[in-house]
Structure 1
Amino acid sequence: MAVWFGPAADIPKECSFVGGEQFRLYAGLTAPPAQCDPCECQEATGQCSGVPGNITIGAGMCGAVGAPSLPFDGPGGWDGSCTDTSALPAGAQCPPGSGVPCAQSITFSALPPPVNEKCEVKPSDIIKAGGTLITEWETGALACRSSLDTSLCGAGDQLCVPKVLYPHRQCVWREGKHAKCPKPYDYEGPRIMYPFQPKESRECTECTCGAPQGGTCLATMRLFEDEVCSAEFHKRIVSSEVSVCDPIIPAGRAIGGKSVTDHVYIKGTCETGGGEPIGEAVEDDENAVTFCCRQSYIFDE
């Protein structure tokens, strides 16, 4: 064959020889790891419901030590709708006859935490495709079939080949990787060349999203003077993070009904994982070709 060797970027588009192209091969592989897009998570989702585990009316200001208290919880299985369970009439005293108003402060324990929290992976076409793969070769070889003529040599076991000018070389070839070349095709030793597509195992690990962290539930706690929850006198936001205490103004007032409404999930954050490059690209040894060449003719005689 007449074989052109040179920088891979300059490899000719076609053979100038009548026989046409036989091989287009390469050497000097550069194949960095896959370029993976960073993994991203969609916004966390979760569900909030329920009521404070304990509601307590205190016969003292918030934080008072030793002050009597009364439970003000809802009924068993309370869903937060209006209820007058544990209603306290105006002027109630703790203890009775002490002259100390029972209703001076009210404490709400934390709401139940969010449930069914999750984060889904944000879709990425590049991640699904396994990342962007870069494959470059240092050297290219374009091997062109050339004419062989048995009539000019006078012997049946000999072939005449045309003279090949630089930058082409006159070469013989053999499939596989070989360490020695036959004479007179041993000018520079064997050149082992490979198909452009290497043996490929580069890809990106699957993206993952950890469990949401820091998600919170909020709700609105409402207090009413009457038992049917029509005369609201106090409203406060309660959360699943901490218990809270509020003063009752004026002290000793009636506390008839209560409700918990407007549950809101405050999104947590999720830690991403995956999207890391793994695997490698190596020369395709199974389809390697070894060329053995003679020295090029620089000028035509």
Structure 2
Amino acid sequence: MAALLGCGADLEIPRPRTDDHPVLLWVSKTPDFPICPDGRLDYWDGWADVRTDPQYQNECGTCACSPAACALPARVIAHEVPLCADEGIKVKFAGAADPPGHCIETSPLVPGDAFASVTIRPPTMALACRPSDQFAPPPLSGTFARACPWIGEYDADFEGLVCIAPEHDGSCRPGFSARFEFREKIRDARTCTPCECAKPTGGSCVADVLLFSDTSCSDMLISINGIGTEEELCYGAPADSPLAGVRVVFARDEPGTCSPKATVSMVDGTIESGETRTFCCSSAEVVEVIYGNADN
């Protein structure tokens, strides 16, 4: 943005006045606001002609839904009496799905004199699909400005203009004829409507459960195949056989699907602006020649 206009004492570039709080004004088409010279924090931010880029049409993104995943049963209930007639003991097999079918040691191990029947819990399908992550509003287009306090000298590393306030009649004095008007940037209050998913449809989750009397899964007690999501089954156990190991695997793993309730996440809310401020800026984009920063 900045360009050295020339060198020499014949250049008459006016200094900013000292009675109306001169500023260094950064102006850009992108909102990548720079740090003010000396790290000053008492700056003023503004914008002009700010709007959502037309190519986005106030849309944040296209909504999607994850599958409603199938999950293998993670426990059985071991009963001390036949026909699953008591409350039983919850026997967990953590990590049954990682990977499916490997031998798992039950927790706790159930001794033979406490194992007469078993309730097999079914596989499950997720009750809901996970929607797309929350979108961020689309970028704004326009002209953006930051007015930094004048620090007594021009900072060549800060790509800005030297500006003063307009005259009482609103005009800009000679030498500071580049006129800018910006509204105060209050905040971007836009959000995006959340994506939501309808209930899952379709899919099929079917599991096979194999129970063993040893932790190495070599002595099989019971094999229950084709357990669907609607079933909870009771099976008798061989007499005096402990329950120590299990293998669980999907016979069918077909997740359900969900449709987004709305196809597109839309922009909601507006940008908030304050009062208009006018800047009269030096027509010289770089004034280092008068502030002792040039070599010529």
Question: TM-score, normalised on structure 2?
Answer: 0.39
User: Hey, which of these two has a bigger chunk of strand by percent?
Assistant: 2
Over alpha carbons, which structure has the higher Rg? 1
